[in-house]
Amino acid sequence: MIVRNIDKALDIIGGWRSKISWTNGCFDMFHAGHALSLNYISISRPDSKLIVGINSDDSIRRIKGHDRPIIDEDNRAIIVDHIKNVDLVIIFDDDTPYNVVSKIKPDYIFKGEEYNGKYVCGSEFGEVVFIPLFNKSELSTTSIINRIRGLHGPE
């Protein structure tokens, strides 16, 4: 299910009788690294429901620049929502998910291991679990976009 309103999300979550796992990201140009990360979460905490926060288009433009996102928020949310272990997708417009996480208060917050040793947004609300990087240099949206641009650059 996809929601844009935190109150709607809280209504849904209120009916759950399980722990909650949270992760978030842009998920622009969904790739194998995204799929592997979401699968890792379901294997690590099979007893929990998974909520995925997705940055809105406006949020991504502020963070990544005017030429992003490549895929609009509605389509990114549909892709993530169709991953079998994702229970809820929340599109948020802030630059960080802090406001959403502070209301949901998940039991587990999953972030890529590149954040190990750094502040993880919302870490005061749940246990932080780091996701191993799955060939980061090859499986990042930025590297994929750069390879595409290189194929179509001047000759």
Q: Domain spans of the chain?
A: 2-151
Sheet holding 127-131, edge to edge: 2-3, 88-92, 48-55, 19-25, 108-112, 127-131
What are the CA-CA distances from residue 103 to residues 32, 75, 111, 131 (Å)?
30, 25, 18, 23
Nearest to 77 by CA among 54, 44, 58, 60: 54
Q: Tell me the pLDDT of the chain averaged across its residues.
A: 89
**Burial call 105-125: b when 16+ CB within 10 Å, e when fewer:** ebbbbbbbeebeeeebbbeeb
- The DSSP annotation for 18-81 comes to SEEEEEEE--TT--HHHHHHHHHHHHH-TTEEEEEEEE-HHHHHHHH-TT--SS-HHHHHHHHH
Q: pLDDT band at 145, cuts 50/70/90?
A: low
pLDDT digits (tens, 9 = 90+) for 131-144: 998 765 555 666 66
Q: pLDDT band at 100, cuts 50/70/90?
A: very high
2-151 maps to which CATH number? 3.40.50.620
Which residues lie across from 153 on neighbouring strands? none
Provide mean pLDDT across the span 110-121: 93
- Per-residue pLDDT at 2: 95
> Per the confidence metrics, is the pTM higher than 0.85?
yes
Q: pLDDT band at 153, cuts 50/70/90?
A: very low
